[in-house]
A and B are shown apart, each in its own frame.
Chain A
């Protein structure tokens, strides 16, 4: 395998990028192996420019290592399949441009360390799916008399931040509570699921009380607010500030004051508007002027 791993630059088209910042060839140092062990293998491949890490991995797969295992789906940062550690940093390979990396050195790509390895860059993510099954689903109250649910845009925006999650599990991977502590996994949901729980708890229509579960079984108390999860989130979700800290507060409140919890659940609802007002509002709404002025927070990393 490694004997084929070097491609010469002989057939490189004229005008291909050259120079120190954009060398003719790049070396990708990929972890190959399975649960029983493995190691890094270098692949040298032409640097075509304008690519993301996943493109280069795919070219290695097509030209040099057809059995290289890697997960991906959307190639647009929307499905959360292609998580790996690029030069030790947890990233989506499809959203990591080669031009942002130092190409004169080998680029190391390894599987997410927080999960058991299956093969090469593919890891076992079953822990996360198991946690998802432990969370009681959304449970809304009754509809309005006209058959609708009414919620204000300001109220749903808090919830929408968490629903942007693409389940890449990068946050789960960096959280030190479970990264190297397999023993904590049964008692700790991890940041992705704290975001999910916060979403449910803050949903204006939800009626369930999950506080006991959050504090006792899912271990929100084990989080010591290092914010590593928020830093790696490709969706820019403020997991620690907007999900975990409010959850911690809520759980503490619960111990003393169940009424306070109820007060938080019952959120300001817009009063139903008569039909003639709705019609008058329609053109404005159709141009997409939603009520909030707050732009949705985005990742810039």
Chain B
């Protein structure tokens, strides 16, 4: 058998979006030999799609804002299923992470007195999102990218990791992947591995995620023995494009609503006023007049219900469409045209203006947008220690969307960019610390490598069906049976369907050669998506309640017993198993923040 290209490192970071880059910057600052590996080119990661902003209690617009308010908003938005310690660290550290970006060249929009401007977003009590028009994710990614480049950090681009490697004790000590360009294999030996590989959206049919969002990071960790938590908590962003079909799922920023846009049904009614849950009644306007005054005066008026957390808005849209009050293409209307001047819209939402003009031939300064829920983000993910980002497997760390716990059952807009900065940094720091504490380079087990390579090449030797067909079938299954609204019988049906899909995937074959062959790449990505689908489905069956991004038709309300548990999925004897395990308990001094609420 041929020799493999190999690289020996202290810290290997899988994924070069915001979390991965931030981890790399931190790890390399400690002197650890650090490298990033990513499936696409550098600077293309899904972080660019984050539009609205990065949430941080800087207090520039509202001096009353502070970490405690942010912490409380985050926990409430997450329906208290969050890992409290992660939510605390996040709220405390986000302001420093944003200011640091500025030092690295990020250029945020400014307040009148020259500081970073902050905007309103759903679930945040104060205008809190530092932003750059509606392209904040690009700004954050580019800033971290330019920082990493200036530090000389090595980046292995267009490389797909197939499996992690472990030593005799079960600790992670490297990874095997292949160059997409040539199809040749590469072995990374590393004392620490950080998973920062983002999300899983491609498992569903309508998604805002790019082709990369196939849950590779989740699957790699799962296969290496790590625990996953709350994988049933999946965020369907309320506003994705629904028309034309090719644009279906593409994100429409929440900033449209933050800047005055409202939701209307086919009767032109602002239906969100009919869906204000008790949990948020105290802080939500119950008349249109009050809601409209809030934009100008946030002290004396309550926010309009269009700015409720995403899970509430997505479910309400779903109900309106089901009740027959939807738009022609099965969505509802997002209207900013009748509420703000064309100049204002173009200045505040330039990318949205551009996106609708180019993709849908719709001028959003004149017409309402047709929108509907789209699979956007997974709150669940790899179980980590809040302070160190360490997973349950020694040597393996995780940050960003791949890690679970921070957002509980539902993520607030703007909290993901801050999450990846705060925990990307922590993962980099502790991964480096772990690596530097181990003097000798790792020893790679050659037989493991050979087995991974053999497995990865197997699709070429099979003449089963095209992996695209299996992928479409998986997306249909998850969309219709494990979508926004779930029910026991359908979830059990999904579990069975996954058995069959796994068999189909294992038999699927690819044609052509190894150089840049997307069919082959998909065959391997499909394994990750199937693993994610399994975890989500099992968690969804066991969580017999509705909470945040997990809604059960047969258990429509939250259940206090389920508020106390994470649904943990892990490998056991070659199969994924699920178990409810207790959540870490919040200390009393933080609990008081919720008593004096509003």
Contacts and interface: CB of A to CB of B under 8 A. Distances in A.
Interface in B14-69: 40-46, 48-49, 60-63
B482 interface: no
Contacts of A269: 114
Contacts of A272: 113-114
Contacts of B295: 287
A167 B63 CA distance: 37
B355 A76 contact: yes
Contact of B359 (A66, A76, A200): A76
Given A50-B243, A132-B149, A133-B149, A291 B112 contact: yes
B120 A151 contact: no
B453 interface: no
Given A51-B246, A78-B135, A290 B42 contact: no
B297 A283 contact: yes
A67 B347 CA distance: 42
Contacts of A250: none
Contact of B246 (A50, A78, A156, A283): A50
B127 A74 contact: no
Interface residues of A, number: 80
Interface in A226-268: none
A81 B132 contact: no
A153 B297 contact: no
B49 A278 contact: no
A128 to B, nearest CB: 10
Contact of B46 (A61, A73, A118): A73
Chain A at the B interface: mostly helix, strand, loop or mixed? loop
Interface residues of B, number: 87
Given A147-B99, A270-B114, A285-B112, A72 B210 contact: yes
B48 A70 contact: no
Interface in B215-237: none
A140 interface: yes
B518 A284 contact: no
A259 B203 CA distance: 59
A61 B467 CA distance: 11
Nearest to B351: A78
B35 to A, nearest CB: 15
Interface of A: 34, 48-52, 55, 61-63, 66-81, 95, 97, 118-120, 122, 125, 129, 132-133, 136-138, 140, 147-153, 156, 159-160, 163-167, 200, 203, 269-270, 272-273, 275, 277-279, 281-288, 290-291, 295-296, 298-300
Interface of B: 40-46, 48-49, 60-63, 99, 102-105, 107-120, 127, 132-133, 135, 138-139, 142, 146-147, 149-150, 181, 210-212, 243-247, 250-251, 259, 295-298, 343-344, 346-348, 350-351, 353-355, 357-359, 361, 466-468, 472, 510-513, 515-520
24 contacts: A51-B244, A66-B467, A66-B517, A66-B518, A67-B511, A67-B518, A67-B519, A74-B48, A118-B181, A132-B146, A150-B115, A153-B109, A163-B132, A163-B138, A166-B138, A269-B114, A270-B113, A270-B114, A285-B117, A286-B61, A287-B295, A288-B117, A291-B112, A296-B133
